[in-house]
Amino acid sequence: MSQTTQHTRVERDSMGEMQVPVDAYYGASTQRAALNFPISTLRFPREFIRALGQIKQSAALVNAGLGNIDQKIADAIVQASQEVIDGKLDNHFVLDIFQTGSGTSTNMNANEVIANRANELLGGSRGSRKVHPNDHVNFGQSSNDVIPSAIHLAALVTIEEKLMPALLGLQQALSSRAEEFMPIIKTGRTHLQDATPIRLGQEFDGYAGQIERGILRLNHAQSELSEVALGGTAVGTGVNTHPLFATRVCERLANINGVDVHETGNHFQAQSTLDNVVEASGSLNTIAVSLMKIANDIRWLASGPRAGIGELELPAVQPGSSIMPGKVNPVIAESVCMVCAQVIGNHTTITVGGQAGNFEINVMMPVVAYNLLQSINLLAAAARNFTEQCIKGLKATTRGPEMVERGLAICTSLAPVIGYDAAADISKLAHKTGRTIREVAREKTNLSEEELTRILNPESMTTPGLEGGPAGG
């Protein structure tokens, strides 16, 4: 290192010298990338930087154990990597998401930051290269296997720590509401039109079932992400790495995170594609679709309160209008829908990114990483907020049960008794005259009041079988 000024120092890489901010832990390669890609304000999130730090730390420990690097150098790398893991050096990860498609710039950003911090820990200066970013920190690795592995690891851990607990909490809250609302019988709806009676609790049981299956899909996403590319190096052949390196690194990553992490059985697919990530994103996409359906249903069921459906009462979390006093809007559900729209859009970006696996390397890894982790974090936050600020505070009104007797679709239970056509005529006449099905049936059939009460019992229509409509009468 030479030519240090008050504001910069000179660092070198394979292309020559670069002026680097004097206080920066990164070096010449990172500085080049910072100048090359002034595209956006988007940066890799904390979860990704933490995963990178864990990979570099585990690699140093394994390489020292295999005799690949000096123990003192490894110890310094381990300590510097821990500072990366803990977020103490986040300000030195400065690169744009829209950069080299393999993420090489960010891999070198990590290598340089850790190497320079390790140099300091050994009593040297930044840029002294006693600890070398390539020869030591990156030993046995390539950007081509490190970056996809960091994507998998970051997503895997974020799902485990944030999204899974949020969805479990939402499922439990919906199940609780389903149990509470089970006695309430209301009009079902298909095609936005009145249908046969249903219990409000049954509707909520359906919502809980959606989230339950979303959790199963999330388990599948985790299984996809647990397979990592480490050990394949440049093109999947494993050149310049010890045969035991990847297995031992994966074992350590699994132990410190409490999740399954294992070396892929086919490095050529693992490095030339992001198929696992696209599949995992598909699970997130489906969860977003489920959440949007639930949030929209709750918005509609709470619409009104007088001129809408009005079968639910939302928690009043904030004023709904700057001009209409007393208005309460379904703002929590609306925020969920916006998150879902973002996640669905992210999946499109990830899908396009996934197809950019040209020969032996994918060249859209940074943007895929950003969108995948954003989706996980957004879904986790939205599900948690939806649970606490909406689902737990929902109340059923009397509107649903009051409208059951006036519903036209309860004539369905008459069909097995008097025939479909006759039941349809009763429904049409009831609709035209504004009377109830019971009132018209009393006039148009020979059924007794006792038989009508039994046949048109809405409670019996909420269970499977023929009890809702006897075969004779």
Give the domain ranges of the chain. 25-123+131-139, 145-182+206-396, 405-462
Predicted confidence (pLDDT) at residue 125 exceeds the cutoff of 90:
yes
Q: Any residues with CB less than 8 A from the CB of 448 and at least 6 apart, and which?
A: none
> What is the pLDDT at residue 325?
74
Percent of the chain with pLDDT over 70: 97
> What is the pLDDT at residue 464?
87
Cα distance between residue 27 and residue 111, in whole Å: 9
Is residue 321 annotated as part of the catalytic site, yes or no? yes
Arithmetic mean of pLDDT, 386-405: 96
> What is the pLDDT at residue 469?
43
Cα distance between residue 137 and residue 143, in whole Å: 12
Is residue 191 annotated as part of the catalytic site, yes or no? yes
Cα distance between residue 431 and residue 293, in whole Å: 30
* CB 375, CB 289: distance < 8 Å: no
Q: Packing angle between helix 104-121 and helix 71-85, nearest 10 degrees?
A: 120
The CATH code for residues 25-123+131-139 is 1.10.275.10
End-to-end CA distance of the chain: 99
* Residue 231: C-alpha distances to residues 5, 339, 379 (Å): 41, 36, 32
CATH class for domain 145-182+206-396?
Answer: mainly alpha
Task: List own/partner pairs for 347-356 with CB under 8 A and 24 or more apart.
Answer: 347/281, 347/282, 347/284, 347/285, 347/288, 347/371, 347/375, 350/274, 350/277, 350/278, 350/281, 351/278, 351/281, 353/274, 354/273, 354/274, 354/275, 354/277, 354/278, 356/101
Length of the chain measured in residues: 473
In this structure, which topology does domain 405-462 adopt according to CATH? Ribonucleotide Reductase Protein R1; domain 1 (1.10.40)
Q: Which of 321, 375, 427, 431 is catalytic?
A: 321
> What is the pLDDT at residue 468?
45
Cα distance between residue 126 and residue 322, in whole Å: 56
Q: Which of 2, 7, 14, 191 is catalytic?
A: 191
- Dump pLDDT digits (tens) for 264-278: 999 999 999 999 999
Residue 319's pLDDT band (boundaries 50, 70, 90)?
A: confident
> What is the pLDDT at residue 3?
59
- Dump pLDDT digits (tens) for 418-469: 999 999 999 999 999 999 999 999 999 999 999 999 999 999 999 987 654 4
> What is the pLDDT at residue 4?
61
- Dump pLDDT digits (tens) for 12-61: 999 999 999 999 999 999 999 999 999 999 999 999 999 999 999 999 99
